[in-house]
Amino acid sequence: MKKVIKTDKAPAAIGPYSQAIEVNGVVYTSGIIPVVPATGEIPEGSVEQAKQAFENLTNLLKEAGCSMADVVKTTVFIKEMNDFAKINEVYEKFFEADYPARSCVEVARLPKDVMLEVEAIAIKNV
């Protein structure tokens, strides 16, 4: 059975999609951008945006009954590959030693012209 996951502690969907979906104990998030949920503002700079995006992801997973330790796969979309090392420094602080599998790709443009977007797949009770 499909369950819609929704929280006001992560950016609201800005289109016809859900923040996350759970099916059989697997949580699939939509792309999460670095919008401050309470204000709708976007932090300046790639490091600050990465921190906000991963905080939003953490909050969404918590609503689903998961943590970052339950994440098995992420995809990170970045606007500038030159920011890869800086984003990696932020990324590793949000995960424990057993890092999830990951893809990271540079893209031409992201919603609201943010510098990165992240999506994840988590397994409940890993």
Residues 57-85 have pLDDT tens digits of 999 999 999 999 999 999 999 999 999 99
Give all strands of the β-sheet with 116-123 in edge-to-edge order. Answer: 2-5, 20-23, 26-29, 116-123, 71-78, 101-106
CATH number (domain holding residue 89): 3.30.1330.40
104 flagged as catalytic: yes
DSSP state of 32: B
Catalytic residue among 21, 26, 104, 123: 104
* Number of domains the chain is built from: 1
pTM: 0.96
What pairs with residue 4 in β-bridges? 21
Q: Which domain does 55 fall in, by range?
A: 2-123
Half-sphere exposure of 72 (CA within 13 A, CB side): 10
Q: What is the mean pLDDT of residues 95-103?
A: 92
Residue (of 25, 19, 18, 37) closest to 1 by Cα position: 25
